[in-house]
Amino acid sequence: MYIEIVSEVTEELHEALRRLVPQLGAHKVPPAWEELKEIIESESSTLLVARESDGSGPIEGILCITVYRVPTGLRSIIEDVVVDEKARRRGIGEALVRHAIELARAAGADGVSLTSNPQREAANQLYRAMGFQLRQTNPYFYRLK
């Protein structure tokens, strides 16, 4: 598996996100070109992509990790992990998450958090198998749009 940090917006990347992001859920909208550029240029966010082992194949998965400081420490969160439905169960998601964990460790974060829809059973099993612990917290969301 070849995991790389995205450093520029390309048509291939933009097309891959148009294909992959809706696989997270019907209501998920892929980022526009400029929004994708903002993610890549952000100092706190890192976008990872996964390809075949030699790096020459198409983008088969993505993950975004954000590392940020709050008064109680350095936090990191993994968001928008998605592997193309045609390429699942080949270790791509695990490779992406492991790479993100190492980035957070290198940045000095205390840990890595993530959320996952309970209906994504395979993803939840993977996270538990990798050592993520289910937190007892109340997720809240305040809609602005």
Residue 144 within any structural domain of the chain: no
Residue 137 within any structural domain of the chain: no
Residue 88 within any structural domain of the chain: yes
Q: Is 115 helix (H, G, I), strand (E, B) or coil?
A: coil
Q: Which domain holds residue 124?
A: 2-129
Residue 138 within any structural domain of the chain: no
Residue 30 within any structural domain of the chain: yes
**Per-residue pLDDT averaged across 28-41, rounded?**
96
The amino acid at residue 88 is R
Q: Using the Cα atoms of residue 70, residue 102, residue 21 and residue 27 in order, give the sign of their dihedral.
A: negative
Residue 56 within any structural domain of the chain: yes
Strands 113-114 and 73-83: parallel
Number of domains in the chain: 1
Q: What residues contact residue 4 under an 8 Å CB cut-off, 6+ apart?
A: 48, 49, 51, 55
Q: What is the pLDDT of residues 78-137, one digit of tens each?
A: 999 999 999 999 999 999 999 999 999 999 999 999 999 888 899 999 999 999 999 998
* Among 105, 131, 104, residue whose Cα is nearest residue 45: 104
Residue 35 within any structural domain of the chain: yes
| Distance from C-alpha of 86 to C-alpha of 143, rounded to nearest angstrom | 33
Residue 1 has a pLDDT of: 84
| Distance from C-alpha of 126 to C-alpha of 128, rounded to nearest angstrom | 5
Q: What is the pLDDT of residues 58-72, one digit of tens each?
A: 999 999 999 999 999
Residue 136 within any structural domain of the chain: no
Question: Residue 82's domain is classified under what CATH number?
Answer: 3.40.630.30
Q: Is the model's pLDDT at 37 over the cut of 90?
A: yes
pLDDT-wise least confident of 23-27, 30-34, 112-116: 23-27
